[in-house]
Chain A
Amino acid sequence: MEIWINPACSKCRSALTLLDAEGADYTVRRYLEEVPSEDEIRDVLDRLGLEPWDITRTQEAVAGELGLRAWARDAASRERWIAALAGHPRLIQRPIITADDGTAVVARTDEAVRDALSR
């Protein structure tokens, strides 16, 4: 199990606390420092079953600079979104847990963390 976190994110700290409480075996990836490649983002999206715009933090300043709100959310634009996430990792929603069964969840609630643990 791997969890992508940003130390400035309270939900990430909560998720880690819950993983510890449950005795989970996991690896922490500080994704702002160890930035995921476009391939890794594609892989995580496949595991999540989501599109890149679904895990994009549009309240980030860089989202405004890029004008993300105006970007099309369709198959033709998918690679453009993925490139934005890889180029500006602060845009990536967090925490993301990749579960042992190969799936992944955006673990912003205790329920989502427990869901990942149960997989």
Chain B
Amino acid sequence: MTFDDQGNPDACVDPYAEFMAREERIRRRRRTRRAVGAGAGVLLAGAIAAGAATVVDEERPSAASGTTVSDTGAPGTGAPGAGAVPSVGVTLPSDAPRSLPSLLSRPVIRPEQAFPATSVRLTDGSRYTRVDLATTTDCARGTSPGLARLIEQGGECSRLTAGLFTDTDRLSQITVTVLSFARVEDASRVFMMASTDPVTYQVVSLDPPPEAGLPTVPPGSAGVFRRLMTVRSVVFANGQWGDGKESREAELTAQTEGLLRHVNATVVAYEEGRTGRG
């Protein structure tokens, strides 16, 4: 696989700086509680990942000052592959939005809320069809072994829901997965580690069901991997061409990021209480 990541489509924005600036604006203008909640989904991930994370890995001393070291995996494994996953501690910042408890009191988003339509049209005019939908409360069933072990370090992973989309030419296969947690810290841990190592900490792309009439992407094919964090969920998008080819990377990236943003916006709206009272 040679398509590049692997990053956050909004990576040009420093999320922590954005968080602090926005919080300051909130304080100055004394915005309403609703306004604070509306920003939480965008703000929390950056605040936590940048400010209060501890990655612990005995094998590879950290270059970052203040990072402690220990290991939960087998010795000599180096990267966190099949056996070793670094212990990652994440805590909420002291200045987390006060609306957070009320946001977390909502049920996690359900499949029909995260993926309400089988036909999707994005703002750029592109259209997609959802050809499959799968959900489980046992999140490890839809993740790589590394991500499953990372999830086990924290609190409950409440639900994993995945939708498989294809474009109008039925050439792309883009799996968008919503991984929802009971606690923000656990979502943040996953988001942070998946952003650092999107191969080890990835969700499993769906194979098309036979009735979709699409080919199964050949194993080991190139892909585009992106993710965003909401209030309590991490939204992943894995894009591949159905034939597994590495051509037209920019087009595949645009499709993958477009669908990611679309689903992410749906999840954020729900988790911030703007739609679909649960």
Contacts and interface: CB of A to CB of B under 8 A. Distances in A.
Interface of A: 6-11, 13-14, 16-17, 20, 57, 59-62, 90
A57 B215 CA distance: 10
Contacts of B143: 7
Interface of B: 132-138, 141-143, 162, 164, 204-207, 209-210, 213-216, 218-219, 244
Given A8-B204, A9-B207, A61-B218, A17 B137 contact: yes
A8 B136 contact: no
Contacts of B162: 10
A7 B205 CA distance: 8
Label chain B's interface by main secondary structure: loop
Nearest to B203: A7
Contacts of B133: 10
A6 B134 contact: no
B251 to A, nearest CB: 21
B136 A17 contact: yes
Contacts of A8: 204-207
Contact of B206 (A10, A59, A90): A10
B216 A60 contact: yes
Contact of B141 (A11, A16, A60): A16
A7 B141 contact: yes
8 contacts: A7-B142, A10-B206, A14-B134, A16-B141, A17-B136, A57-B210, A59-B215, A62-B218
Contacts of B216: 57, 59-61, 90
A16 B139 CA distance: 12
B138 A16 contact: yes
A80 B127 CA distance: 43
B69 to A, nearest CB: 31
Nearest to B132: A10
B204 A7 contact: yes
Closest 10 CB pairs between A and B?
A10-B134, A8-B207, A7-B204, A13-B134, A61-B218, A13-B136, A10-B132, A60-B216, A8-B204, A17-B136
